[in-house]
Amino acid sequence: MAMLTNDNQDSMMSEINVTPLVDVMLVLLTVFIVTAPLLMNAVSVKLPKASAEPVSTQIKSAHISITQQGDLYLDEVKLSQPALETALQQSAKVPDYAVDIMADEKVEYGVVAKVMAAIQRAKIAKFTFVMMPDVNSTNLPSTDLLSTDLPSAEPSTNH
């Protein structure tokens, strides 16, 4: 703040010198920046040691294949319907057991329904149908589009 007098003799100006204040603030800021990370790790905690083995997250699954003739295969071993059901009941004791069903597209629905019923009676909650992807459903361009005649980029000679 300046104080001016009307006299020409001595004009007195008083201002607050902020340079020392800025110096002190920068020193304090530096101290806080340096000490803040040290204060975060100031509490010493001894954590207990874990003695358990890691849990396996791999899900055990079986593959049931059904041929066009109605033959049943459990992991590439041919079984009858009752033998398949017995094997599924034994396998169901494994936690998170899953079954993949690979049925021929021409197999009768009744055979697939019997396999699904056997899975249900064995109390297996997870089963999936494995299918081949449809070739026509891909994002590849059709061969018809590739064979169409496109207009030429050459200038026409007709005037």
Q: How far apart are alpha carbons 71 and 64 in whole angstroms?
A: 10
> Which pTM does this prediction carry?
0.48
Give me 52's structure tokens: 């358990």
Q: What is the pLDDT of residues 16-61, one digit of tens each?
A: 889 999 999 999 999 999 888 777 665 666 666 766 666 665 668 8
User: What DSSP designation does 101 have?
Assistant: E
Q: How far apart are alpha carbons 53 and 105 in whole angstroms?
A: 44
Residue 96 lies in a domain: yes
Residue 151 lies in a domain: no
Sorted by sequence, the CB contacts under 8 Å of residue 2 that are 6+ apart come out as 13, 14, 15
Residue 24 lies in a domain: no
Residue 117 lies in a domain: yes
Which range marks the domain in which residue 70 is found? Answer: 61-132
Residue 155 lies in a domain: no
CATH classification of the domain holding 112: 3.30.420.270
Q: Is residue 88 a contact partner of residue 119, using CB atoms and an 8 Å limit? A: yes
Residue 77 lies in a domain: yes
Residue 124 lies in a domain: yes
Give the amino acid at 12: M
Q: How far apart are alpha carbons 119 and 91 in whole angstroms?
A: 10
For residue 114, give the nearest of 91, 89, 82, 90 by alpha carbon.
Answer: 82
Q: How far apart are alpha carbons 115 and 157 in whole angstroms?
A: 72
Higher pLDDT, 143 or 87: 87
Q: What is the DSSP string of 21-33?
A: HHHHHHHHHHHHH
User: What DSSP designation does 135 have?
Assistant: G
For residue 79, give the nearest of 128, 113, 118, 122 by alpha carbon.
Answer: 118
Count structural domains, the chain.
1
Q: What is the pLDDT of residues 71-110, one digit of tens each?
A: 889 888 898 989 989 888 888 888 888 888 888 888 888 8
Residue 78 lies in a domain: yes
